[in-house]
Amino acid sequence: MKPVTFDHWPYPRFIAHRGAGKFAPENTLAAFRTGAGYGYRMFECDVKLSADGIPFLLHDATLERTTNALDALGHGLSQVGGEHPWGTLSLLDAGSWHSRRFAGESLPTFEAIARFCLKNHYFLNIEIKATPGDEHHTGEVVARHAARLWHGTLVPPLLSSFDVASLEAAQQAQPELPRGLLLDDLWTGWLETALRLECVAVICNQNLWNDSSMRQAKSADLRTLSYTMNETASAHKLFGMGLDGIITDRVDLFSPASL
């Protein structure tokens, strides 16, 4: 028996990737606001821990692609995001790399993003993207924060990860929160693992969905989602096969109004 059951799947079909991370700097509040401006009501984001245990949004393990850390911290200091305390991370510019318009945009705490979503009745897919070596701890801490922030609300956030240890830790810490197994490859035992983790969904690289994988997931009562879908033809094909949702960068192309 799964601890998480929904009478119906509560999430929208269209999920904005990293906020709306192409039209604004990914994994920032500006990206969420941009996605919301396109009518999106659900967002995916990547969450990891600072050195002092604060969950915050960042995709890469390192800071240099999406912040000004090389300039701000100096070339001699570690670029690993999870090796800095939140006090240092919170001062970085996470917007200028994208465009001048977003200069000064901050890295957000997970809590700030959660509050934005809760206040606006948006849904959230939290990808647990631990700093390498910190997978179990990150899964536990993120799940605990998510449970605290969404306490008493009708629809919980969907926790997901490529990392089995992170999902195991989330399952142990907060079994009631729904989980999705992310797959970039149909590795041996993926379905058994998703079931052992009591997942409600598998979220596959779009190239992995075919009649066989879709049938296996559906027969196991798992919802089927796909990332990162940026073309209408492939999305229509997969929806025709029974896909339940897509995570997309192209918030301009897929209209949530077509739900």
Catalytically active residues are: 17, 59
Task: Note whether 60 binds ligand G3P by CB under 6 A.
Answer: no
- Does residue 253 sit in helix, strand or coil? coil
User: Under 8 Å CB-to-CB from 7, ≥6 apart: which residues?
Assistant: none
Task: Note whether 244 binds ligand G3P by CB under 6 A.
Answer: no
Task: Provide φ and ψ at 153, rounded to 5°.
Answer: -95, 165
- Contacts (CB under 6 A) with ligand G3P, residues 112-171: 127, 160
User: Under 8 Å CB-to-CB from 50, ≥6 apart: which residues?
Assistant: 56, 81, 82, 84, 85, 86, 89
Stretch that binds Mg ion, among 30-38, 75-83, 125-133, 250-258 (CB under 5 A): 125-133
Task: Note whether 127 binds Mg ion by CB under 5 A.
Answer: yes
CB of 207 to ligand G3P, least distance (A): 13
Give whichever of 88 and 109 is closer to Mg ion, judged by the CB atom.
109
Cα–Cα distance for residue pair 21/9, rounded to 1 Å: 25
Task: Note whether 140 binds Mg ion by CB under 5 A.
Answer: no
From the list ligand G3P, Mg ion, none, which binds 227 (C-beta under 5 to 8 Å, kind-based)?
Answer: ligand G3P
Tokens describing residue 6: 């929904």
Residue in 259, 199, 211 with CA at minimum distance from that of residue 238:
211
Say if CB 122 and CB 39 are below 8 A apart: no
Could you give the string, one character per residue 30-59, with x where binding to Mg ion holds by CB under 5 A and - elsewhere?
A: ----------------x-------------
Task: Note whether 2 binds ligand G3P by CB under 6 A.
Answer: no
CB of 11 to Mg ion, least distance (A): 16
- 99, amino acid identity: S
User: Under 8 Å CB-to-CB from 68, ≥6 apart: which residues?
Assistant: 92, 93, 94, 96, 97
Cα–Cα distance for residue pair 224/246, rounded to 1 Å: 9
Say if CB 146 and CB 127 are below 8 A apart: no
Cα–Cα distance for residue pair 220/217, rounded to 1 Å: 5
Task: Note whether 42 binds ligand G3P by CB under 6 A.
Answer: no
Task: Note whether 105 binds ligand G3P by CB under 6 A.
Answer: no
Helix 110-120 crosses helix 29-37 at what angle (to 10 degrees)? 20
Task: Note whether 163 binds Mg ion by CB under 5 A.
Answer: no
From the list ligand G3P, Mg ion, none, which binds 247 (C-beta under 5 to 8 Å, kind-based)?
Answer: ligand G3P
Cα–Cα distance for residue pair 62/30, rounded to 1 Å: 21
Could you give the string, one character per residue 239-258, with x where binding to Mg ion holds by CB under 5 A and - elsewhere?
A: --------------------
Give whichever of 9 and 103 is closer to ligand G3P, judged by the CB atom.
9
CB of 62 to ligand G3P, least distance (A): 14
- Closest residue by beta carbon to ligand G3P: 227
Residues near ligand G3P (CB under 6 A) are 17, 44, 46, 59, 127, 160, 182, 203, 227-228, 247
